[in-house]
Amino acid sequence: MKSRAAIAWAANRPLEIEEIDVAPPKAGEVLLRMVATGVCHTDAYTLSGKDPEGLFPVILGHEGGAIVEEVGAGVTSVKPGDHVIPLYTPECGQCKFCRSGKTNLCQAIRATQGKGLMPDGTSRFSKKGQPILHYMGTSTFSEYTVLPEIAVAKIPKEAPLEKVCLLGCGVTTGMGAVLNTAKVKPGSTVAVFGLGGIGLSVIIGAVMAKAERIIAIDINPAKFEVAKQLGATECINPKDYDRPIQEVIVGLTDGGVDYSFECIGSVQVMRSALECCHKGWGESIIIGVAGAGEEIATRPFQLVTGRVWRGSAFGGVRGRSELPGYVDRYLRGEFELDTFITHTMGLEQVNKAFDLMHEGKSIRSVLLF
């Protein structure tokens, strides 16, 4: 079938809105009609050419809300008409990782996903016979996309897809990092570095976890108002100080924070986030994604003296079994999504969405199909 899609033909070039061919779903696959998709910084990161797994031409996008259009042979868990959130972290329930009970990082299809291919090693997308690659197993910047059955989470039809699409990445990642990965305890002091969609969701999670102090850090003070609205107790701009931000935070917190979250993708900030943690117990969670070749550094003494460095992917959330619970919590009014959606536009405006992100003017742009 034909589909309107935003194609990234090469790194660092604007996406082109074009008509592509989408092949039908094979056995164990589903064809989705995208209703809405958020634009996450990771899409910009891969487009920038800094992603070691970045391949072109590709259809980016991984924060979608969609409706099942057609299912391939053997698919039993969803049917046409079901509402779903595409999962870049699938859940097969059978691989060593799924069975471990220790991680959400299902590896059943990770190798082919990282090559931009479906599990059988081919692509369902093409243009005039030229294959176009999938991205993060989701490619939500296309009106129609194909995913393995294990990579869709079925959600209730009353959930508005143009809002809950944000649970396909940003909001779940931030909340989950607090609630699943760090397991923040009531009364804690938390520092959040970077106040985009991810950092602001960390704030929501920290409020849910009953953190007492939530220190929000960003070099763009325009982000402070919404951070406070969501529950940050203080906001800090590192540019206002002539000493390292970790020293400032340690001074403000009687020795450091209980938990910190890096939501930027800067290896320098990752170091600050670790070193602003309290001696003996402070834990720093890396969420931000850093470019090819970049490495983190600190004095090992920071770890010897009890600080902990951890990472979190998709908030540690198992997509098929746990993401519907996040949608239910949203529907019950436990958190809101409207604050995140600063811009809504058509797919053809996708390059504007990237511009707004880079200019620091948006939290999330949601593209409608």
41 is catalytic: yes
Q: Which two tokens stand for residue 304?
A: 């010897």
138 carries an active-site annotation: no
Q: Which stretch binds Zn ion (CB under 5 A): 105-113, 272-280, 305-313, 335-343?
A: 105-113
313: contact with ligand NAD by CB under 6 A: yes
Beta strand 152-155 pairing with 83-86: antiparallel
Choose, by CB under 6 A, the member of 16, 18, 21, 51 that binds ligand AHE: 51
Residues 364, 39: contact at Cβ < 8 Å? yes
**Contacting Zn ion within 165-224 (CB under 5 A):** 169
Selected catalytic residue, list 13, 33, 110, 310: 110
Q: Which segment (47-55, 205-213, 273-281, 299-307) binds ligand AHE by CB under 6 A?
A: 47-55
Q: Which helix (H) or strand (E) holds 1?
A: none
> Is the bond preceding residue 57 a cis peptide, omega within 30 degrees?
yes
Q: Is 40 a catalytic residue?
A: yes
287 binds ligand NAD (CB under 6 A): yes
Q: Judged by CB under 6 A, which of 19, 53, 225, 336 binds ligand AHE?
A: 53
Output 278-281 pairs: Cβ under 8 A, ≥24 positions apart. 278/253, 278/307, 279/255, 279/305, 279/306, 279/307, 280/305, 280/306, 281/306, 281/307, 281/308
Scanning residues 41 to 60, which ones bind ligand NAD (CB under 6 A)?
Answer: 41-42, 45
**Residues 232, 190: contact at Cβ < 8 Å?**
no
Minimum CB distance to ligand AHE smaller for 140 or for 188: 140
Strand 29-38, strand 63-71: pairing: antiparallel
| CA dist., res. 252 & res. 264, Å (int) | 22
> Which residue type occupies 24?
P
Candidate ranges 100-108, 263-271, 276-284, 322-330; the one touching ligand NAD (CB under 6 A): 263-271
62 classed as catalytic: yes
Backbone phi, psi, residue 278, to 5°: -70, 135
User: Per CB under 6 A, does 261 bind ligand AHE?
Assistant: no
Q: Is 13 a catalytic residue?
A: no
What minimum distance in Å lies between the beta carbon of 48 and ligand AHE?
12
Counting contacts by CB under 6 A, is residue 89 touching ligand AHE?
Answer: yes
Instruction: Give the pair of three-digit tokens for residue 161.
Output: 């897809």
Taking CB under 5 A as the rule, which mask of x and - marks residues 21-40 in contact with Zn ion?
Answer: -------------------x
Catalytic residue check, 276? no
The entry of ligand NAD, ligand AHE, Zn ion, none near residue 238 (CB within 5 to 8 angstroms by kind) is: ligand NAD
Q: Does 266 help bind ligand NAD (rule: CB under 6 A)?
A: yes
For residue 312, which amino acid is it?
A: S
Residues 114 and 348: their CA atoms lie apart, in Å, by: 26
Question: Residues 55, 78, 92, 105: which binds Zn ion (CB under 5 A)?
Answer: 92
Does residue 142 contact residue 22 with C-beta atoms inside 8 Å?
yes
Residue indicated by tokens 């970790």:
246
- Give the Cα separation of 258 and 263 in Å (integer): 17
Pairing of strands 189-193, 16-22: unpaired
Our measurement of the distance from residue 14's CA atom to the centroid of its chain's CA atoms, rounded to an integer in Å, reads 21
Q: Rule CB under 6 A: is residue 288 a binding residue for ligand NAD? A: yes
CA 368 distance to own-chain centroid:
19
Residue 6 interacts with Zn ion (CB under 5 A): yes or no: no
Which is the catalytic residue, given 4, 95, 112, 213?
Answer: 95
Q: What residues line the site for ligand NAD (CB under 6 A)? A: 40-42, 45, 169-170, 173, 193-199, 217-220, 223, 238, 263-266, 269, 287-289, 312-314, 357, 360
Name the residues annotated as catalytic. Answer: 40-42, 62-63, 92, 95, 98, 106, 110, 169, 364
Q: What residues line the site for Zn ion (CB under 5 A)? A: 40, 42, 92, 95, 98, 106, 108, 169
